[in-house]
Structure 1
């Protein structure tokens, strides 16, 4: 899993009511987490990219980009899904559907 925590995602300036350190702790308790400075999707912060397992990737699964991961229920759904295998292994929880967006094009 990759979590954006640089330019605006994960900042108190943009999301003062979110405990960003606690969010990382929840995710890290579920799966290994890589923190990125910027994932080029600032309009959707907080951004989390759930990676498929290596086997699921070989079978065609692709990373799932999720934005606006700001509340505890959404965060828990992301963590639980990733811990259960994530893309290509388990169906994405319905509550995450509105948070899914296509990977941004890099400039």
Structure 2
């Protein structure tokens, strides 16, 4: 998983009231517990859809044809928990995303698992 922390994502001026540090802590905690990785990146580009999180497929997901999925507008606890739940379930290529999270996809929609 890649969490944007560039010019707009993670910026309290862009999304006041969002616990940006808490979001990153939650994602890292889940990663440590469930065996996936979380990295941060400088600006990923779709600044108007901050915060952006890229959910990457697990090795099994890649073998099944899963591709990275960009999730925009991930600024609340519900979004964070849905990203965590999907990653824990196997992510792209293995598990279908939560339906409400699909509404936040940035770019082309991935094929259904």
TM-score, with structure 2 as normaliser: 0.86
Matched, 1:30 2:30: yes
Provide Cα deviations, 1:19-77, integer angstroms capped at 9, x if missing partner: 11100011111222110011011011000000001232133110011000011111101
Partner of 1:56: 61
Q: Gaps (5+ residues) in structure 2?
A: 32-36, 109-113
1:78 aligns with 2:110: no
When normalised by structure 1's length, the TM-score is 0.90
Structure 1 stretches of 4+ moved >3 Å: none
Pairing 1:101–2:106 present: yes
CA contact (8 A) 1:3 1:34 kept: yes
Cα RMSD, aligned residues only: 1.1
**Residue aligning to 2:51:** 46
Structure 1, unaligned runs of 5 or more = none
> What's the secondary structure of 1:26's corresponding residue?
helix
